[in-house]
């Protein structure tokens, strides 16, 4: 069984480490030269601040709603990313001989949970989420979820959107559970080459759900 751990609004979460007053307040992080918006807190998303759009186009909305804006600090994000991954390695018993963690990006990693009994996967994922935050009380990076067998990386957006009921953890253990998750996942929530390929081939529209393929 495989899981994916995806940190929530990672760059914004990193900046909030040093600005606890910004918790539960809208925050965005900009790209090099402050050109585009590359990270948004949940509060900024709720205001309608778009992802990857030019900053100047969203500036009025941002200023009108008191959104805090940060220039990107990749040295900080890289350092905290290493701490995330090191914590996951400790929790999963990762060694060079028995690799349990595969780093996917600065804020995502795949975990090998094949040693965990299926009926314990959900609680084990919660344990990873809670313990990884408690190991360093100054480290407040939010975890988006740990989802066994996510299939496409984009499916991690589903537990994120339902985080109040799922506690940011979803175990998709059966075909039925996976089908429900797919039916609730819109194509326009998926990033990367897979989404682009679907549009190029005319297979899917933005608002079509994966479960209708």
C-alpha–C-alpha distance, residues 84 and 7, integer Å? 9
- Token pair, residue 26, equals 């809208």
Please report which helix (H) or strand (E) contains residue 182, including its range. helix 175-183
Q: Counting runs of H as helices and runs of E as strands, what totals does the chain give?
A: 9, 7
**CA nearest neighbour of 129 among 3, 2, 11, 41:** 3
C-alpha–C-alpha distance, residues 213 and 198, integer Å? 11
Could you write out the DSSP letters of every residue in 73-116?
Answer: -HHHHHHHHHHHHHHHHHHHT--SSS--EEEEETTEEEEE-TTS
All residues at 6 or more sequence positions from 156 whose CB lies less than 8 Å from its CB, including other chains = 4, 6, 108, 144, 145, 147, 150
Cβ-contact 133, 143 below 8 angstroms: yes
Q: Which active-site residues does the annotation give? A: 108
**CA nearest neighbour of 173 among 116, 110, 212:** 116
């Amino acid at each position: 069984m495989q899981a994916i751990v995806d940190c929530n609004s990672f760059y914004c979460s990193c900046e909030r480490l040093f600005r606890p007053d910004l918790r539960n307040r809208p925050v965005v992080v900009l790209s090099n030269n402050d050109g585009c918006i590359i990270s948004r807190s949940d509060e900024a998303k709720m205001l309608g601040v778009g992802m990857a759009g030019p900053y100047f186009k969203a500036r009025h909305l941002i200023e009108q709603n008191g959104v805090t804006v940060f220039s990107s600090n990749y040295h900080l994000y890289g350092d905290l990313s290493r701490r995330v991954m090191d914590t996951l390695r400790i929790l999963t018993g990762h060694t060079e001989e028995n690799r349990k963690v595969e780093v996917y990006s600065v804020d995502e990693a795949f975990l090998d949970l094949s040693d965990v009994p299926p009926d314990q996967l959900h609680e084990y994922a919660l344990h990873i989420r809670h313990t990884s935050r408690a190991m360093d009380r100054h480290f407040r990076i939010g975890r988006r979820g740990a989802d066994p067998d996510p299939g496409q990386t984009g499916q991690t957006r589903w537990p994120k959107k339902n985080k109040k009921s799922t506690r940011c953890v979803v175990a998709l253990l059966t075909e039925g559970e996976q089908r429900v998750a797919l039916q609730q996942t819109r194509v326009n929530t998926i990033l990367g080459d897979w989404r682009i390929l679907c549009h190029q081939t005319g297979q899917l529209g933005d608002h079509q759900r994966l479960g209708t393929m």
